[in-house]
Structure 1
Amino acid sequence: MSWRIGIDIGGTFTDVVAFNEETGSRKALKVRSTPKNPSESFLNGIESLGDMGIDSSNISMVMHGTTVATNAILESKYSEMGLIVTDGYREMLECARQTVPGDFGDIVTWIKPPRVVPLDLVREIPGRLDYKGEEIRPLDEEAVRKVAREFKQMGIEAIAVSLINSYRNPSQEERVREIVKEEHPTCYVSISTDVIREYREYERTVSTCLNTGLMPSLSSYVEKLTDQLENTRNKTRFYIMQSSGGLTDSETIKRQPISAVLSGPAAGVVSAAALAKSSKYSNLITLDMGGTSTDICLIENGEPKMLTEGQIDVYNIKTPMVDMTTVGAGGGSIAWLTAGNSLKVGPESAGSDPGPACYGFGGVQPTITDAHLVLGRIPTSLADGNVMLNPEAARKVIAENIAIPLNLSVEEAAEGIIQIGTENIARGINLVSISRGQDPRMYALYPFGGAGGLHACRSADVLKIKRVIVPLLPGLTSAEGLLLTDIRADEVITDVQREDNLDIEKLQSEFKIVSEKSKKYLNNEGFANENVKIQLFMDFRYWGQAFELRVPVDLPANAQISEEIIRDTIKKFHSSHLERYGYSYENKELVEVVNIGATGIGLLNRLQQNNYNTSSRNLEDALVGKNNMYVTTKGKSGYYPVPVYDRYKIPINQPFKGPAIIKQFDSTFVMEPEWTAYVDSLGYIICEKDGGNEDGN
């Protein structure tokens, strides 16, 4: 009996979902996360599967989502490193980009991001390539050896290499790496052409430096996990989620940890996209609310929106990633007062240690979870009784820190905490929808994570979204999404050409190169050609623009790249630009090709979702009691007895009205007044606003 395992490590809990490849059955569990040593909770999850009857020798594949890389960047806990650059470019990181974030223009002074590598650890080496990648000054190999020896004497164990114009020709960077490893065999070396083969030296260098700084910690982390998995009697394949929404092997992550900066959040988006592709609900806004933050993504026509560049903390990183906005609103987000007694929520979080005050692990500050407990919106136990909550501790910290200073009742203070958290989430939804030219009312909200269901209907009310869809395992959706993910390999080449002077033969050759590289990687991972899918793309911009927009290439089956297909893709760029930015320069400005690339997908045996079965025939069978929940309806607020339903006993296609609480072992869903819900044949809760319409979904 063979099992496929998905493990997602969050700030509070580590989620584990096991899928039987033969019977289609699944098992799920939660263990407490161990932020100081993430590999511990991973291994605890594997061991806990044994208690559920799953022998480690029967595990065929493990897919993992991790926030180790993300947290290292956010907390500036990457390794000290040296940087080798082309002579004359020592201050490249100091120059950075001469832009101001947002719409402030010349109104504000932009403080540039702190250097990833201090200036005293940057070394210049002679050697130069021109813009075509042709060598105009040979590499000074003796200078490279001298730098490598110097870094070794200084105890620098990680070295980044980023040379000008190397994206056109990696030979000099590759030779630098060889020499450095000869002189300093134990150090980690990362060259920019391995990280991202695109132009813009600043972004390429920052990405390479962060990649280098992450290599020691990610390599150590991955090696601990692989060593443990190799101790099983079965050869277990181990894959890690990338920010792009695809899996890759552990050796690739050790070389390119920067590709995993959004590893955990991307998996939940994949799960939502699987629903969007297989149902009538093709347009979704995902709401992944955990203990620390909420990640929000827009899915249109079954596909999540993607970025070629994103910002992590204060750094612009060039790597494919799901277009996601993160807001500092999670179950552990701390409520606090400013000097002027204004109530704020987040971004600081109590995390899992000590956690919210109601957890009883030493938390002394009020959190969103404490507010929900005080108002009767969550049960007094979580994770199938493994975590017991203390309502009195929650009331005490809210009273002392918020209610008394503001002269409010504890209930009013708790309600204010929840409302501010909801408004923060709504602003995040606006960022991925309205600010990108999309109307959120045309989408359904897809909440998951341990706390997503607590704020879903409220967030939808703020934005006038008419439908909320709750997955079967909302608290484990990211872990489940790992089991729905294919293996992915991205390749890209920068070749700037204007549409009035295209070198079609050269573009055809480059498309062949990137396609074959992606295909070769997947073949080496054991995928036969019939299980490999290649998706081509091109990045365009209008002549004079600074940044580009990615457009997929529609290539008919068995067809070859032709001038006609390239011209058709340019036409698609105009419409994509209009949709994204609200204007187009078609027939007014020339279009410039910037990058061409390929995404290789290794198709795993896709897990099939069985029809949902429940023995219940009446809604009364699912009723497990009533909670006194603080409800505001028709202008009146107070505690009302609200039905509490067992999620797994709710009969299919029987509507029920809010307010109501739906509990299950991994999360709680609160249905607000004026909402009606039913469970569909796949087990999803379809919740609709009373008097709503059928906009979009």
Structure 2
Amino acid sequence: WGAAAVGRACGEDRLIAFDMGGTSTDVTLIEGGRPQVTAEGAIDGLPFAVTTTDIHTVGAGGGSIAWRDAGGALRVGPRSAGAVPGPACYGRGGTEPTVTDANVLLGHLDPGTQLGGEMAMEPSRARSAVASLAEELGLGALGTAAGILRVVEAQMAKALRVVSVEQGHDPRDFTLVPFGGAGPLHQGALARELGCRRVLVPPNAGVLSAVGLLSAPVTVDGVRTSLVGSADADPEVLGRIWDELEDEARALVLDQGSSVEHVARGADLRYRGQAFELTVGVGAGSSPTLPDGGDVDAMVAAFHDAHRERYGYDQPEEAVEIVNLRVRVEGPTPSIPLVPVAAGSGASSAVVGTRTVVVDGGERECELYDRSRLGAGDTFDGPAIVVGLDATCWVEPWQGVTVDPLGALVMEEVSS
């Protein structure tokens, strides 16, 4: 919901949210300004059937530990150094190489910057940790660091495809929103891998999840099994069940001190013989909310469309079964004030130094920008490092940056 709130404020309603923290990466797709939801999921391989935001998680974060497997291949995660002892560069006793250590070694994290304004990094410890792994792999330290980033970014790109391509969506039609403490460091590689033409790094990206907590509406989902063939379904019976579910959900929303602003109805359907269902209406993204009257033909048509969008085909000649009826009742979406930034006086006024970084195996000089000094309308091109109190953004050499009125960094590919 934090990414959705920033997207709405910036005029973007088709987003891929990418939250990379210290231990894991969480991704979801936002369409029409609303996160997608799902009626099923899994935790540690155990399936559950509870309506929830459709978030896909992988064990890839800034603290994920790089290691050599029995076959000699480089792996990253899911084991993490956590916050304590943390990456080797924290100087808190960590000795194993992590994604953060690789970023330090390649210059994407400036060792002269204090993390959170307080913690000084120790690049020598990062180098020592990565060098130990490099020796096992028979590679140089810089090559190993670059390999660590390639491996972890491949894992995250796979997760992003799960919530986009595998759901029938083209990532090129969406804006990538990286956040979390480590997300902006990897935005360029993922945008290029997925073909996202635009990247939006929110202000206060490192704590955007807190904004999401405050901007999520009170929501109650109701579901009731009603297994019936669509040809035998009675619209009056369906409508009565939906009415009962809506009344129950409304009461629960009102009990939480919220008013009711949005009601959507939906259903889980499948072709006869299938062992899985597709939801149309509630939580189905671009599929329409179903009409109040329980129009069975419209519901079945929406199912055929959803099946074709998800799997590339539909079977209109096959019998369709209605499995569950659903209702979602929401209160108003809280309005979180996002304070505009002052007009910029030119990006050069935010430059606080230069740094040597490793790009494609070679060294390049890049400028360091203090994000707090950037103003609306400022523009600059990569390679660059934008340092904030809560997150650092690595701008790839092929990216151009414009600071929007809210202080978000809007990045697009620049002509070579």
Matching residue of 1:590: 319
Matching residue of 2:117: 385
Matching residue of 1:407: 138
8 Å CA contact retained: 1:333, 1:346:
yes
8 Å CA contact retained: 1:382, 1:667:
no
Deviation of the 1:602 alpha carbon:
2.0
Residue 411 of structure 2, aligned match among 672, 682, 687: 687
Q: Which amino acid aligns with 1:378?
A: L
Q: Which amino acid aligns with 1:624?
A: V
Distance in 1, Cα, partners of 2:23 & 2:174 = 25
Map 1:99-248; keep pairs closer than 5 Å: none
Map 1:566-581; keep pairs closer than 5 Å: 566-581=296-311
- Please report the RMSD computed on the Cα atoms of aligned residues, expressed in angstroms: 2.0
- TM-score, length-scaled by structure 1: 0.57
8 Å CA contact retained: 1:537, 1:551:
yes
Matching residue of 1:674: 398
Alignment CA distance shift 1:463-1:526 (3 Å): closer
Distance in 1, Cα, partners of 2:30 & 2:184 = 19
Secondary structure at the aligned position of 2:356 is classed as strand
Matching residue of 2:86: 355
Alignment CA distance shift 1:502-1:379 (3 Å): same
1:368-411 per-position Cα deviation (integer Å, ceiling 9, x unaligned): 001111121112244432222110011111112x2222332221
Residue 362 of structure 2, aligned match among 623, 638, 642: 638
Q: Which amino acid aligns with 2:128?
A: K
Q: Which amino acid aligns with 2:367?
A: P
Unaligned runs of at least 5 residues, structure 2: 283-287
Alignment CA distance shift 1:292-1:382 (3 Å): farther
Q: Percent identity?
A: 37
Map 1:361-440; keep pairs closer than 5 Å: 361-380=92-111, 381-400=113-132, 402-440=133-171
Distance in 2, Cα, partners of 1:306 & 1:490 = 11
8 Å CA contact retained: 2:339, 2:406:
yes
Secondary structure at the aligned position of 1:514 is classed as helix
Matching residue of 1:448: 179
Q: Which amino acid aligns with 2:311?
A: Y
Matching residue of 1:98: none
Alignment CA distance shift 1:575-1:276 (3 Å): farther
Map 1:272-671; keep pairs closer than 5 Å: 272-380=3-111, 381-400=113-132, 402-528=133-259, 531-552=260-281, 561-563=292-294, 565-586=295-316, 588-603=317-332, 605-613=334-342, 616-632=344-360, 637-671=361-395
Deviation of the 1:502 alpha carbon:
1.4
8 Å CA contact retained: 2:64, 2:81:
yes
8 Å CA contact retained: 1:519, 1:532:
no
Secondary structure at the aligned position of 1:435 is classed as helix
Secondary structure at the aligned position of 2:186 is classed as helix
1:153-194 per-position Cα deviation (integer Å, ceiling 9, x unaligned): xxxxxxxxxxxxxxxxxxxxxxxxxxxxxxxxxxxxxxxxxx
CA radius of gyration, larger in: 1
8 Å CA contact retained: 2:23, 2:82:
yes
Distance in 2, Cα, partners of 1:271 & 1:370 = 28
Deviation of the 1:638 alpha carbon:
3.0
8 Å CA contact retained: 2:374, 2:407:
no
Unaligned runs of at least 5 residues, structure 1: 1-269, 693-697
8 Å CA contact retained: 1:276, 1:301:
no
Q: How many residues align?
A: 410
- TM-score, length-scaled by structure 2: 0.93
Deviation of the 1:281 alpha carbon:
2.7
8 Å CA contact retained: 1:382, 1:666:
no
Deviation of the 1:555 alpha carbon:
6.5
More helix by share: 1
- Structure scoring higher RCO (CA < 8 A, sep ≥ 6) equals 2
Alignment CA distance shift 1:567-1:278 (3 Å): farther
Matching residue of 2:285: none
Q: Which amino acid aligns with 1:573?
A: F
Distance in 2, Cα, partners of 1:625 & 1:490 = 52
8 Å CA contact retained: 2:218, 2:258:
no
